[in-house]
Structure 1
């Protein structure tokens, strides 16, 4: 039998992510060792191989088994890979569908948000316009308020003035009312006094009236009537009191215009009961001698240093004297004579 050289190619099967059993690992290691031994001893004689015919057959059978097992494992691996790929693909498809759904929802939401944003922008523009309009209105109202406030202040001041004026008018009204009452009373008194004056100046005589220049008890000189009051010491009066008595007789204390009248007044200063001094209407005021109506005394009538608080008296013998206005004296009254 001819000598044959048999070389076996070493075949290594690798499986990815395919777990192998312990038996398969041992068989593969056995076959791998045998093949390696044969490759390492290619130059053995044919005679040696002749003695191992059964062993070759067993090796061939084992190789077939290994190949078959490897193919089966590979198929299993492929099936598992396909299943995994399918599962992953299915999961990815579901994820893609979910992402598409989410994308569609997001697009819808984005569209809604865009519309809402446009609406908000429009509303914002409207609000800005409204704010501008309100700002203008507020400015107008502020100016109107300032004007109104100024008017209110003016009206308040005017009201205050009117209130003050009303009070003044009310006071004037009360004063006028009092004056009217006084005038009414004075008119009534004046009528009575007028009647008395008529009776005094024109007394009834034999059912008729005979009028005189001065009433009874008064003496006439030039255009005036004079009456001297030679009151008793207990009834004498101060300068002011004497003047009040004259006023009650529609007259006043005597005044002197010239030397002739002065002499006439001196003649009326009749001494009685040792009393010779009579009040006349002259007193010291502001460092000057003045008549009760405010006119100054003529220097030609009397030169006497005025002393405030002093008044003048007429003495028939000694002429005029300066005495305190508070002393009590007799007095002389004067009033206009009736023109006939």
Structure 2
């Protein structure tokens, strides 16, 4: 009975290796209980129990052999890894010892090449910095140019609007010009009609006089010379006039202040003059020049002093030169108009 318990207890270990989930103590009790029942009933079953125990022992031995083979494989792998670590450590130590020796034993040419490469690297670094700075400058310039372009584009738009406005204004001026031309043509027509009426009036004035059927070259009160007809307005103060007022008075008589384009006309004014007082003639300063009332320039500058703004010419009978006086002064005046051809 004691020997049977040892075999049964041993068999409980075999059940553990076979992944039996029941506890070992409980399996031992069940096995002992089974063996006791087998011995009380029949010896044949005891024999089968012995064979079962033998098989279980044999399975346990095989399991132990497999565990021993696995441990040996792990031991071999650990030895290989240890050897590899030792070899790597030796290689590292050798490289550390060899590199300083190689550095000291390097070829001078290689050292020079290294120095050259370092110098070139430094130079390239400087050039790279310069290029970055230039790139930044160009970027800033581009920004400025873009801003200037925007301003220029705005100015162009403004100028375009101005051109359009000027074009419209020019068209309006063209229309006004056409209207003025038409008005001028109408005025010329009216002027021609007035000239015809004036001519008729002149004929009546010069020719149709009571008791005289002949025509005269000048109206009564006007002195005739080869240059035309003259009237000397020898008014006394306060009836004397400024240059402008004298010109208006002459216009009212279908004439102008006296003009002397050449020496004969100058002599004619002197010949028919009277008294010693000064008389306005049709010469005054315009645009820095002496000009006659008909728009022509003075032909002989020796007849009067150089021009000055606001000055008009005054004639004196006993003087060879004309005087330059203020146009606002009051004096007597001479009117002139063409003589009638008879």
TM-score (ref. length: structure 2): 0.48
Bigger helix share: 2
Q: Which has the larger radius of gyration?
A: 1
Per the normalisation by structure 1, the TM-score is: 0.48
